[in-house]
Structure 1
Amino acid sequence: MTSKVRKALRRTIAAVAALASLMSVAACGGTSSSTAQDGTVVSIFNGTTGTFNENFNPFSPTALGPTLGVIYETLYWYNLATDEDPTPMLATGYEWNEDGSELTITTREGVKWQDGEPFSAADVAFTFNLIHDTPALNTNGTACTAKLIDENHVKLIFPTKNADGTPFDEPFKGAYMQEGGILGGQAIVPEHIWKNVKDPMNYTNANPIGTGAFKLSRFTNQSYSFSAFKDYWNGAPKIDGVRYIALNDASAATSTLMAGQVDWMSAYIPSYQTLLKNYPRISAVNTPRLTTVVMTCSNTEAGCKGPQTDTAVRQAMYYGMNRTQLNKLAGAGAGAIGSPTMLMPDRDRKWITDKNLVTTPETEDQEKAKQILEDAGWKMGDDGYRYKDGVKLSMTIQTVAGWSDYILINDTLKQQMKPLGIEIISTQMAWNQWNENEQKGNYQLSLDSLGLGVTADPYYTYNPRYSSLQMAKVGETSGGQNYARYSNPKVDDAIEAAAGTEDEAERKAQYAIVQKEIANDVPYIPVYINSMLTEFNDSKVTGWPTEDNMYALPAAWKAWDMGIILQHLEPKQ
């Protein structure tokens, strides 16, 4: 599931009716729909409303959520709730050669595919060669071929010259920053099955065979189920199965949770403390990890038009926001303080070298914002708005119809910016149109959120969103995620330099350059870090992540982590 789809689902769920209207569901009524003969089966709602479309292709951006982590696994798993070393999964070791052009991986022994066939390094080699030979599958930008060494070792080889043998425009500095995507972002598939797939991009894979702890047992458009894989390499799961359900509409999510018919879901509920008080068997954790931003089409050379292309306007908006008010009104105070570096202050502090850039200001500094605009030539007009060269300081901000919290942010921003002489016009539209506008640059301001990288290394935040290589001109669909059309040679050079070294101190020095530039240019203006509220039913199983033991990110839609969590669950005695 793509980050865009996850955000759309989160927004849909956030629009649930007020909790008071749902309390008509009996506090003690209902039980989980699993039966005694099923054993202990955990029911999950991961945001799907309507019906499921059968797709378990781990290369597909529209694959069903548990495809990644529950069925298929990676070489290593990165816990993005913390900044810690990755956990070995299908690999037990890896080593770069001296110049960073080869990565040798040691695969785990004793692993079986869910059809009983043995897993080996040959499957890893096949997976990466399939990606190399099928460019449409290469969503991580992996640039390697694979050479099988023996049953438990495979070598990934990265090009150091162009295909015709001529040198690269820039000297090869190592492929070290592809490490995270390779080790922690790529599902490994079985060669004995996928070698016969003629169209791997469009294959729906109705009978998926992975190395994960649960195997698909039943599929319908309304629900699908998994049974525990008893020969799982890390030990048989302690629960008997998992069931994913779809609901007719978003408001049914909280009702179903209260009725005891769902055991795990991630949904923002404004009065969730009241819910927990009235339903003792329900617990919740909040793990803010997605930064809400005012995205700007910032680059006139790329075709962006409007006052937001002026750095001074973006800076004035940054200092003119009252983020505490926005968090309280739209996020019920459950959001966390963000950073102008776009990193997570709690998790990523070691990467932020300037103490003045650790967190955003929480209240507005109107005088500073006004002075920035004055110095840039934006003068106040008789109508209370500023003008420069006859152009009114007026911008349109888009969001998706039905995203109630984001609509409230936009409406509040309109009031917060007015005393500065900035006019904000809020507009709502269908998700598809909003998404297309961002990809093609057909917008001035857009309220959105920036998701998580493959690992906690800042490279996976900065390269996709700030590198000139990841942008397209206005009107062209962006292949990368630089929807702000941001371009800064200093940032490009620093990102490239960071990608070419294993030395953490050197990467930190390069990231400091990036942070200084983007904090000044603010192509993405940070608001706050969204709440990521997840609810659990404690009456059936134990072992859910807690605030004190965040062994995985608990969101019910989070790829890879959901497989880790399901392995931790045990029937309640």
Structure 2
Amino acid sequence: MSLKSRRGARSILALASLATAALALSACSPAASGAGGSSITVTASTGTLTENFNPFSPTALPSTNGVIFEPLYWYNSASDAPPTPILATDFSWNDDGTELTVTTREGVKWSDGEDFTAADVAFTYNLVAETPELNTSGSAATAEAIDDTTVVLHFPEPSFMQEPSVLGNRGIVPEHIWKDVADPTTEVNSDAVGTGPFVLKEFTAQSYLLEKNEHYWDEGKPAIDKVRYVSLDSADAAAAALIAGKVDWMSSYLPDLEQLLKDHDNLSYVNTPALTTSIFTCSNAELGCTGPQTDPAVRQAIYHAINRDQLNQLAGGGFAGTSSPTMVIPGRDDDWISDPELATTPPSADADEASAILDAAGWVPGADGIREKNGERLSLTVQTVSGWSDYISLNDAMSQQLADVGIELNPVQLAWNEWNNNQMMGTFQLSLDSIGLQPSNNPYFVYNKWYATSQTLPVGESASAGNSSRYSNPIVDDAIHAAAVTIDEAAQKEQYATIQAEIDRDLPYIPIYVNSMLTEFNTDRATGWPTNDDKFALPATWKNWDNGIVLKELQPAK
């Protein structure tokens, strides 16, 4: 399992293992590097590192986007703040949403000393438009540089809601380098030239070193001279290295975290829950889904029968946040929730409500207590990935909770590839997964990706666009489209009210809780990390864009 995963509780190693991990890291830790200047170490992943600093690649290494390459604007997933200017200073739409005019920042240089201009921005978007394999966000933008600081992005139809993806989720590349790249889809970009706060110095299969970009445009930043990303054998090894003082920044779930860190004043953590752990259902019989979960009444009964407080304590370590049936994040996104009754999921089980729903739908208790209807047992298989131990704990607990209302839950553990293929192809009944981060906190991105008919396909075809539940509702589709063609938030909220009422009833994805996103820090070598009171960025080490914001705000410890 990757360290970036928000899933998978890991046990803490014994003291002997701590010593082993410390020795393994000694060759690459700041204290042992022998290099001058301030330096920190970050966990990159588990296993062997594969060199890839291509900002267009979905498998680029964690520091590529945000640390080496920058977007035009940065959207903070940890708050509801407006976008922060990075390589641009202003933007505006025309009235019908088909043109986006961007003013680029003056005085920026590439890390090789060449000037950055609007022509680089236009080149980047045109390269994506001309190379469909690079267009993972679905952007339809083409671009024209009007002068050195003005670029106009053109869209074939109203595209207001592409704004966060276009402005905030695209690393800008230098035309003078990339115009000569033979194949941008396979380029590993070993000599990466970017505008970000750090540049690549050296790479091995176990670690890579970044150094301060001496041409960086943001005066006085970064204050840290070097950042080394390391690969460790497991999340346990990373935890051991953190305790031993060999790693300064990591993102991993650690059981009993507060107890673990209480004797280490130099260690801290921040929790930024932003991923709604949910039961994904193959919900649509018309598109080929089979099983009791295609009955909305069954999905509603599951929603009411689970005890979320108990699940949080058993599987979430008590760090999980409250979810919402609207699938936005309570607290952060309250302004987008139309009905106060839909603000949060119920914390405890309501077995009477769940049973009443099943009774009304014709599911009657069988001789063994498991309900049945027309000869079909209310027995469901739920899949998760072997090794995701918090999700395995969820399944074990929910099996007992659902049995109380006559639902048999059969958990299975699969290799990640099989689990993912089943979910994409629709060959599953229930699956544990998360509704994840999007280009901005506007609910449009959640609703379009996971609920729009355009984002799914019949069972047997890969719903890689996101809607793996095969959900299809013309009322929801119309509301998503209406929200997409306006930047009037009041008008969008009207459409979201319609969507929220529909998905609360249909529940193709059944929310459990907002899973913890724990990130740990060592303050011996650097200070200025995000805190639970000041989440100035989403601090997960794997989070594109935010990682660069965190690194350039750090100060060497005194």
Residues 381 and 429, structure 2, Cα contact 8 Å, conserved in 1 = yes
Partner Cα separation in structure 2 for residue 367 and residue 496 of structure 1: 38
Q: CA deviation at 1:8?
A: 7.0
Q: CA deviation at 1:9?
A: 3.7
1:131: which partner in 2?
A: 128
2:459: which partner in 1?
A: 474
**2:215 paired with 1:231:** yes
Q: CA deviation at 1:17?
A: 2.2
2:509: which partner in 1?
A: 524
**2:485 paired with 1:488:** no
SS in 1 for 2:102: strand
**2:2 paired with 1:17:** no
Q: How does 1:178-193 map to 2 (within 5 A)?
A: 178-193=162-177
- Over the matched positions of the two proteins, sequence identity in percent amounts to 54
Match of 2:518 among 523, 527, 533: 533
- Report the residue type matching 1:38 in the other structure: G
**2:111 paired with 1:114:** yes
Q: CA deviation at 1:151?
A: 0.7
1:405-449 per-position Cα deviation (integer Å, ceiling 9, x unaligned)? 100100111000001110100000101110111111110000111
Change (3 A) 1:27 1:44: closer
Residues 103 and 156, structure 1, Cα contact 8 Å, conserved in 2 = yes
Match of 2:41 among 14, 24, 43: 43
SS in 1 for 2:66: coil
1:55-84 per-position Cα deviation (integer Å, ceiling 9, x unaligned)? 111111111011010010000001111101
2:434: which partner in 1?
A: 449
Residues 87 and 105, structure 2, Cα contact 8 Å, conserved in 1 = yes
Residues 281 and 430, structure 2, Cα contact 8 Å, conserved in 1 = yes
2:401: which partner in 1?
A: 416
1:194: which partner in 2?
A: 178
- Report the residue type matching 1:231 in the other structure: H
- Report the residue type matching 1:17 in the other structure: S
Residues 11 and 255, structure 2, Cα contact 8 Å, conserved in 1 = no
- Report the residue type matching 1:378 in the other structure: W
Match of 2:285 among 270, 293, 300: 300
Q: CA deviation at 1:32?
A: 4.2
2:325: which partner in 1?
A: 340
Q: How does 1:208-247 map to 2 (within 5 A)?
A: 208-235=192-219, 236-247=221-232
**2:68 paired with 1:55:** no
Q: How does 1:421-432 map to 2 (within 5 A)?
A: 421-432=406-417
SS in 2 for 1:38: coil
Change (3 A) 1:27 1:105: closer
Change (3 A) 1:24 1:133: closer
**Structure 2 alignment gaps of length 5 or more:** none
**Structure 1 alignment gaps of length 5 or more:** 161-173
- Report the residue type matching 1:159 in the other structure: P
Partner Cα separation in structure 2 for residue 349 and residue 71 of structure 1: 34
SS in 2 for 1:465: helix
**2:254 paired with 1:265:** no
Residues 3 and 235, structure 2, Cα contact 8 Å, conserved in 1 = no
- Report the residue type matching 2:247 in the other structure: V
**2:354 paired with 1:369:** yes
Residues 307 and 395, structure 1, Cα contact 8 Å, conserved in 2 = yes
Change (3 A) 1:10 1:257: same
Match of 1:81 among 78, 83, 87: 78
Partner Cα separation in structure 1 for residue 3 and residue 449 of structure 2: 18
SS in 2 for 1:480: coil
Partner Cα separation in structure 1 for residue 499 and residue 32 of structure 2: 51
Partner Cα separation in structure 2 for residue 352 and residue 42 of structure 1: 41
Residues 19 and 271, structure 1, Cα contact 8 Å, conserved in 2 = no
Partner Cα separation in structure 2 for residue 32 and residue 342 of structure 1: 42
Residues 18 and 241, structure 2, Cα contact 8 Å, conserved in 1 = no
SS in 1 for 2:382: strand
1:163: which partner in 2?
A: none
Residues 276 and 323, structure 2, Cα contact 8 Å, conserved in 1 = yes
Partner Cα separation in structure 2 for residue 32 and residue 120 of structure 1: 36
Partner Cα separation in structure 1 for residue 452 and residue 471 of structure 2: 7
**2:95 paired with 1:101:** no
Partner Cα separation in structure 1 for residue 553 and residue 148 of structure 2: 30
Change (3 A) 1:33 1:437: farther
Q: CA deviation at 1:6?
A: 6.2
Partner Cα separation in structure 2 for residue 19 and residue 37 of structure 1: 30
Partner Cα separation in structure 2 for residue 479 and residue 251 of structure 1: 31
Q: CA deviation at 1:231?
A: 1.5
Residues 3 and 46, structure 2, Cα contact 8 Å, conserved in 1 = no
Change (3 A) 1:139 1:24: closer
Match of 1:388 among 365, 373, 395: 373
Residues 10 and 255, structure 2, Cα contact 8 Å, conserved in 1 = no
1:499-537 per-position Cα deviation (integer Å, ceiling 9, x unaligned)? 010101000110111111111111110001111111100
SS in 2 for 1:58: coil
Residues 4 and 542, structure 2, Cα contact 8 Å, conserved in 1 = no
Residues 22 and 254, structure 1, Cα contact 8 Å, conserved in 2 = no
Partner Cα separation in structure 1 for residue 330 and residue 122 of structure 2: 38
Q: CA deviation at 1:23?
A: 8.5
Match of 2:87 among 83, 90, 93: 90
1:170: which partner in 2?
A: none
Q: CA deviation at 1:200?
A: 0.8
Partner Cα separation in structure 2 for residue 159 and residue 289 of structure 1: 33
- Report the residue type matching 2:120 in the other structure: D
Partner Cα separation in structure 2 for residue 270 and residue 367 of structure 1: 34
Q: How does 1:65-80 map to 2 (within 5 A)?
A: 65-80=62-77
Q: How many residues align?
A: 553
Change (3 A) 1:513 1:475: same
Q: CA deviation at 1:144?
A: 1.9
Change (3 A) 1:27 1:478: closer
- Report the residue type matching 1:137 in the other structure: L
Partner Cα separation in structure 2 for residue 8 and residue 564 of structure 1: 18
**2:542 paired with 1:544:** no
1:165: which partner in 2?
A: none
Over the aligned positions, Cα root-mean-square deviation in angstroms equals 1.8
Partner Cα separation in structure 2 for residue 38 and residue 556 of structure 1: 24
Partner Cα separation in structure 2 for residue 73 and residue 299 of structure 1: 41
Change (3 A) 1:198 1:34: same
Partner Cα separation in structure 2 for residue 113 and residue 97 of structure 1: 30
1:403: which partner in 2?
A: 388
Change (3 A) 1:243 1:18: closer
